[in-house]
Amino acid sequence: MSISEVSVGKINKLCVIRQADFGVYLDGKQFGGILLPKGEVPEGCKPGDELEVFVYLDSDDYVIASTTKPLVQVDEFATLTVAEVNDTGAFLDWGMPKQLLVPYGEQRKKLEEGQRITVRVYLDNTDRLAASTKLDKFLRNDTSELKVGQSVSMFVVRKNELGFSVIVDNSYWAVLHAKDIFKTVRPGNRRTGYIKRILDEGKLDVMLEKPGYAKVDELSQQILDDLESRGGESALGDKSKPEDIYQQFGISKKSYKMAIGTLKRLGRIEITPTGIRLL
């Protein structure tokens, strides 16, 4: 597909070419004029304006534009709620007026109304948007183009015995280990992460912070700054008196211990019998 062509199932930037009583028409490239219905036209919109719109097929299979942004676009993964089940399949709420179909042939298990499921969105052979719960067939095993430390997008799918199963760059399975999690992570979350290890058979380990360059919160940074000002060592450790910690940082001993525990896991400090030491 030419880079100048309009992508169905994705957000596109399109130019207004003419106005009509029932909306405005956008330059739809290979599709000709694409209607943006009147109720979605921004106030003051005129020919020549460029609008960011989602392009999809409406209930009559006409290509149409919307300023409403869906929860997921084509070739992406998302966790969505089943709104309805009928003879055609299951229909998902995805933030658009026309619900998203999961055909029965694309269901690993029969879906039920109200269920939360993870799906991949794709275009069928008629350019209609649909979703599938058969995730593996959309993922790759060849990790030869990836590098340790590389920044990646992560979609959190589910908990497992090691931490979380995540999908990296919409292309690979990976594991985010519990020991590498220092912020709230839940299924359905999207996060930026980094490749920690590339294993055999296309398997990956990822982490939330770049190896060797982990960011820390404000309190942890204060502790690091204090250590540097003292030549890399401090007598305030996990066994220090609460009043000594409060006098230095104005925080509770519990908060201090949590902060130095995080810094230890990040490899920034060492906790010693006499305090803490900068690494």
What is the CATH code for 11-66? 2.40.50.140
Sign of CA dihedral 223, 229, 234, 235: negative
Over residues 201-257, the pLDDT tens digits come to 778 999 987 765 555 678 888 898 899 899 999 999 989 999 999 899 888 898 899
**Cβ contact 85:111 at 8 Å:** yes
pLDDT over threshold 90, residue 167? yes
Fold category of 218-278 in CATH: Arc Repressor Mutant, subunit A (1.10.10)
pLDDT over threshold 80, residue 79? yes
What is the CATH code for 151-207? 2.40.50.140
Whether the domain at 11-66 and the domain at 77-136 fall into the same CATH topology: yes
Q: Which CATH superfamily is domain 77-136 in?
A: Nucleic acid-binding proteins (2.40.50.140)
d(CA 242, CA 45): 62
pLDDT over threshold 90, residue 276? yes
The pTM (predicted TM-score) of the whole model is 0.72
Mean pLDDT of 1-20: 88
Q: What is the pLDDT at residue 135? A: 97
Domain ranges of the chain: 11-66, 77-136, 151-207, 218-278
Over residues 83-130, the pLDDT tens digits come to 999 999 999 999 998 899 999 999 999 999 999 999 999 999 888 999
Q: What is the pLDDT at residue 2? A: 46
Angle (CA) 184-187-193 rounded to 5° is 60
Q: Which two tokens stand for residue 65?
A: 């534009």
Over residues 124-149, the pLDDT tens digits come to 988 899 999 999 999 999 998 999 88
Q: Which two tokens stand for residue 150?
A: 């590389």
3-state SS string for the chain = CCCCCCCCCCEEEEEEEEEECCEEEEECHHHCEEEEEHHHCCCCCCCCCEEEEEEEECCCCCEEEECCCCCCCCCCEEEEEEEEECCCEEEEECCCCCCEEEEHHHCCCCCCCCCEEEEEEEECCCCCEEEECCHHHHCCCCCCCCCCCCEEEEEEEEECCCEEEEEECCCEEEEEEHHHCCCCCCCCCEEEEEEEEECHHHCEEEECCCCCCCCCCHHHHHHHHHHHHCCCEECCCCCCCHHHHHHHHCCCHHHHHHHHHHHHHCCCEEEECCEEEEC
Q: What is the pLDDT at residue 3? A: 52
d(CA 202, CA 173): 8
pLDDT over threshold 50, residue 195? yes
Over residues 22-61, the pLDDT tens digits come to 999 999 999 999 999 999 999 999 999 999 999 999 888 8
Q: What is the pLDDT at residue 211? A: 66
- Count other Cβ atoms within 10 Å, centred on residue 119: 26
